[in-house]
Structure 1
Amino acid sequence: MSLGDDLDSRVRGAAMAWLRRRSTPENPVVSRAELLGFQFEGRTFPLVDNQLGIRKPQGFSAALSILTTYRSDGRSAPYEDAVGDDGLLRYKFQGNPSHYTNEGLRQAHLQGVPLMWFVGVQAGLYLPFFPVWITAVEEAAKQVAVALEEAQRMMPVEGPVSPLERRYAERVTQQRLHQPVFRQRVIQAYETSCAMCRLRHRSLLDAAHILPDRHSLGIAAVSNGLALCKIHHAAFDQNILGIRPDFVIEVRSDILEEIDGPMLKHGLQDMHDQPISLPRHRADRPHRNLIEERYEMFRSAG
């Protein structure tokens, strides 16, 4: 092992150990400032590039990290990452395919080294995924295939993939990347607060879909999401309460007539006719058409 290889492995190990300590269930997102200011053996060693999406430190042959920039609903990222036909994620080359950062991705694949992937959930805030691996370089499409867990590294990328393998990869991608990113983007948009009761404990908050996944409009976009505490999320999904098109909560009439303990009264009945809190940024607010569609579902179920 060369001195360069030793430094590479020490940096990767130290960075991922720090992320395990830093990224907790209560506070899983990290700021750009923290990533740029990471300390390694007494000196600053940035984990992301100041301008580029791929970080390949000087003296390293392989890339250290990749980054996906946050874009609000309706705005396309400069490089669109996608899921391939095999269910594995793809990360696009950035700029000239022969640029040193893209060569760093090729070397990460050849060497089989683990990387960190930072996915933007708000401007300057990222949800880290690590370790991830580059499992293939697809030169014609100017992209690489990315595995989110060890088992995905064994999946064939070239040639036919069985339906079972594809479903497995899609499930991993959905559970390990898309759902956590959707959750954090929604919770960040609502400033870590339940839209109904204003509870501010992140570990007790969910990202609720206004229209469910199975609905044709039930996409994982912030405008189709609400930050709700677990009680109000369940009540919303069970049509115990709904949200009118004017963003005011409506509790089902039979629930209003019930007599029970303080949880029913203060947790549900007192929500009736109360406005929900909305994100500051207009692009993050619930789409009115989705709210109207969901309200009709609530009325039909009552």
Structure 2
Amino acid sequence: MGDDLDTRIRAAAMTWLRQRCTPEDPVVHRDELLGFHFEGRQFSLIDNQLGIRKPRGMTAALSILTTYTSDGARAPYEDEVGVDGLLRYKFQGNPSHYTNVGLLRAHELGVPLIWFFGVRQSLYLPSFPVWIVGIEESSSQVVVALDEAQRHLPLDGPVSLIERRYSETISRVRLHQPVFRQRVIQAYDTSCAMCRLRHRSLLDAAHIIPDREFRGVPAVSNGMALCKIHHTAFDQNILGIRPDFTIEVRADILQEIDGPMLKHGLQEMNNLPLVLPRRRADKPDRDLVEERYERFRAAG
């Protein structure tokens, strides 16, 4: 009976999340997660106080949660990835706490969980299904796989360079990039920082310093919410951002004659102020902006 309940709850929760979290609105509010209903009664998908949700009557943990914190210029994932490229999740206090026991049971049974990542206060981006594939008691943490391929990577021996890079790519594409994107878009109130376009599906989280570089950390202060055309123009050094957060269009582009998109979408951006987040911690790092602006000038 318990196993059947466990299976039904997991299936119902993930089905609801697939329907609720669309490309246009992929994040879910805390109140929605606490107020989820299952078979006619309220059944919270997250714990009201703890990071691990192990409901009474279920055989294993249902979800894990990472709380939102302002990250400034620090990489928020640097202490969560092992040498194998897989992500880690810390136990909740005492290893014998019932929530941690729930994680151990999830590992033993191989059942899928939901991982809720905070992108703003009380707003979460869900990632599912995920699996607990290893226990590291000495570090008080579990190893989390984000897809079926990661579930079968070796944990008890050396990991090849190819396997590590493959695993890191999965973690970046499945979790780090989506979380970074939503944190940046939320910080900019779902609006392009240049043209103020508010269609979420047409917005990107542009890196000031590219993420392939050491200083290109996945932090909001290294990002800007830009529509797709202005993101591409920024990456191609058609547009630049001065250290005083003013938009500058490359001189040769200003001289071109073309259709209305060039005129209104690019040329008229010249000398306009960038629309910045309200919170100081979310604003672009001025040093990174200045570094990127020097590259823009060199390209011009």
1:129 corresponds to which of 109, 127, 148: 127
How large is the Cα RMSD of the aligned pairs? 1.7
Q: Does the CA-based 8 Å contact 2:222-2:285 persist in structure 1?
A: yes
Q: Is the 8 A contact 1:35 1:47 kept in 2?
A: yes
CA distance in 1, matches of 2:173, 2:290: 28
Q: Following the alignment from structure 1 to structure 2, what is the Cα–Cα distance between the partners of residues 252 and 213?
A: 24
Residue 85 (structure 1) aligned with residue 83 (structure 2): yes
Q: Separation in 2 of the partners of 1:262 and 1:256?
A: 13
Residue 121 of structure 2 is aligned to residue 116 of structure 1:
no
1:156-196: CA deviation from partner (whole Å, max 9, x where unpaired): 11111121111111110011110010000000000100000
User: One-letter code of the match for 1:168?
Assistant: Y
Distance 2:297 2:149 in 1: 45
In structure 1, the partner of 2:148 is 150
Contact kept, 8 Å, 2:30 with 2:122, in 1: the verdict is: yes
Task: Decide which of 53, 56, 79 is 2:54's aligned counterpart.
Answer: 56
Match of 2:263 among 262, 265, 275: 265
1:180 to 178, 181, 185: 178
8 Å CA contact 2:211–2:217 kept in 1: the answer is yes
Query: Which of 253, 260, 275 is residue 277 of structure 1 equivalent to?
Result: 275
Higher RCO (CA-CA < 8 Å; seq separation 6+) = 2
**Do structure 1's residue 22 and structure 2's residue 40 form an aligned pair?**
no
Q: Distance in 2 between matches of 1:15 and 1:60?
A: 13
Match of 1:163 in 2: 161
Contact 1:80 1:92 in 2 (8 A): no
Take 1:74 and 1:98, find their aligned partners in 2: how far apart are those partners? 34
Gaps of 5+ in 1: none
Residue 81 of structure 1, CA deviation = 5.8
Which moves more between the two structures, 150-159 or 7-16? Answer: 150-159
Matched residues in 1 for 2:161 and 2:73: separation?
32
Supply the distance in 2 between the matched residues of 1:235 and 1:161 (Cα, whole angstroms). 39
- Structure 2: runs of 5 or more not aligned: none
Q: Percent identity?
A: 74
Structure 2 vs 1, CA of residues 218 and 159 (structure 1 numbering), >3 Å: closer, same or farther? Answer: same
Q: Name the SS for the 1:82 alignment partner.
A: coil
Equivalent pairs counted in the alignment come to 300
SS at match of 2:153: coil
Any conservation in 2 of the 1:223–1:287 contact (CA below 8 Å)?
Answer: yes
Is the aligned partner of 1:238 residue 2:236? yes
1:39-61 CA distance string (max 9 Å, x none): 11111100000000000001223
Preserved CA contact (<8 Å) 2:73 2:220: no
- Distance in 2, matches of 1:183 and 1:251, equals 25
Amino acid at match of 1:266: H
Q: Provide the rounded CA distance (Å) in 2 between the counterparts of 1:150 and 1:74.
A: 33
Q: Is the 8 A contact 2:86 2:144 kept in 1?
A: yes
Give the Å deviation of 1:80: 8.5
Give the TM-score normalised by the residue count of structure 1: 0.97
Which of 243-252 and 150-159 deviates more? 150-159
Contact 1:81 1:89 in 2 (8 A): no
Identify which of 191, 196, 199 aligns with 2:197.
Answer: 199
The answer to whether residue 33 in structure 2 is matched with residue 9 in structure 1 is no
Give the whole-Å Cα distance in 2 for the aligned partners of 1:73 and 1:93.
22
**C-alpha distance in 2 between matches for 1:75 and 1:232:** 23
Cα distance in 1 between the residues matched to 2:146 and 2:49: 25
Q: Deviation at 1:301?
A: 0.6
C-alpha displacement at 1:214, in angstroms? Answer: 3.0
Partner-residue secondary structure (3-state), 1:198: coil
Give the distance between the partners of 1:227 and 1:280, measured in 2 at CA. Answer: 13
Q: Counterpart amino acid of 1:216? A: F
Distance between the aligned counterparts of 1:74 and 1:54, measured in 2?
26
Q: State the match for 1:42 in structure 2.
A: 40
Q: Does 1:33 align with 2:31?
A: yes
Q: Which moved more, 1:215-224 or 1:49-58?
A: 215-224
Cα separation, 2, equivalents of 1:197 and 1:108: 47
SS of aligned partner of 1:121: strand
Q: Secondary structure of 2:204's partner?
A: strand
In structure 2, give the amino acid aligned to 1:158.
D
Match of residue 69, structure 1, among 67, 70, 75: 67
Cα distance change of structure 1 residues 123 and 81 upon mapping to structure 2, 3 Å threshold = farther
8 Å contact kept, 1:81–1:92: no
Aligned-residue offset at 1:94: 1.5
